[in-house]
Amino acid sequence: MFRTLLVLIVIVALSIPTALIFIPLALLTGSVGPLYVVSCGIVRAGFFVAGIRIRVEGLEQVPAGQACIFMANHVSNLDPPALIPRVPGRTAAFSKRSIMKIPALGWAMRLGDFIPVDRNGNVESAQNSIAAARVVLAKGLHITTFVEGTRSKTGRMLPFKKGPFYLAKETGAPCIPVSIHGTEVLMAKGRMEIHPGKVRIVFHPPIQPQDFETREDLLAAVRAAIASGLPEWMRA
């Protein structure tokens, strides 16, 4: 638990001056770029203090100059901070609406074009999230999504949500499957303790939505790609 507290102290200590300087700067200039870069640096510092080392593979396969949808499996609260700073360029992400109501953090996420989602199964809410995501892609920003919709308790892949694949088919944005493993033992679902160790993130070649007749076919292709980068026991 000491390591977890140390990580929190470091992040809070770095976040306060960052918020005081870069949030007003973003509001004055209309550019969230510097805030995004510094925030990613703070996250990297947190992982360093935690003793977590991240090995990244396949970044050279991400197409340059094109907004993509990064689709990853989800096994730990460490997944978003591990992945997002390593997506080339700037990415927005889907985030629970409740998180985006947190003072300062939620404000910064809105400045970064993060997209609020509800988990109530409401069709209108889902459509609003997809519409907001289309606007983000049109700006030239990537979108990162954890396609299972929630963390797996066992590490094994869960069924995928269909919303991101609807978005991909509607916009034609390339899908970049991403495999993450290692985080499931460094911070398991339902636990607060952070443990040192190694994480592997694999970016797979882009999958073009127009190459598939249906969303279901596209989903199956992305799922197979993500599974190919995971240990056998994590593949459902």
pLDDT tens track for 75-88 = 999 999 999 999 99
Q: Which domain holds residue 151?
A: 53-234
Give domain status of residue 35, yes or no.
Answer: no
Across 15-24, 63-72, 106-115, 217-226, least confident range: 106-115
Residue 178 placed within a domain:
yes
* pLDDT value at 121 more than 70: no
Judge whether residue 120 has pLDDT over 70. no
Using CA atoms, how far residue 61 sits from 129, 138, 201, 230, in Å, is 28, 22, 13, 18
Burial class of residue 102 (count of CB atoms within 10 Å of its CB; 0-12, 13-18, 19+): exposed
- Number of independent structural domains in the chain: 1
Beta strands in the chain (DSSP E): 52-57, 69-72, 91-96, 115-117, 142-146, 175-181, 197-203
In a domain, residue 168? The reply is: yes
Q: Is the pTM of this model over 0.85?
A: yes
Q: Tell me the HSE value of 19 on the side-chain side, using a 13 A CA sphere.
A: 13
How high is the pLDDT of residue 49?
Answer: 94
Both tokens assigned to 105: 């953090």
38 lies in a domain? no
Evaluate whether residue 47 is within a structural domain: no
What CATH number is attached to the domain comprising 78? 3.40.1130.10
pLDDT tens track for 151-184: 998 889 999 999 899 999 999 999 999 999 999 9
Q: Distance from CA of residue 47 to its chain's centroid?
A: 16
Q: Is residue 157 part of a domain?
A: yes
Q: Is residue 15 a part of any domain in this protein?
A: no
| Residue 25, in any domain of the structure | no
* Phi-psi group of 6: left, alpha or beta (phi > 0 → left; psi -120 to 50 → alpha; rest → beta): alpha
Residue 227 to residue 225: CA distance in whole angstroms: 5
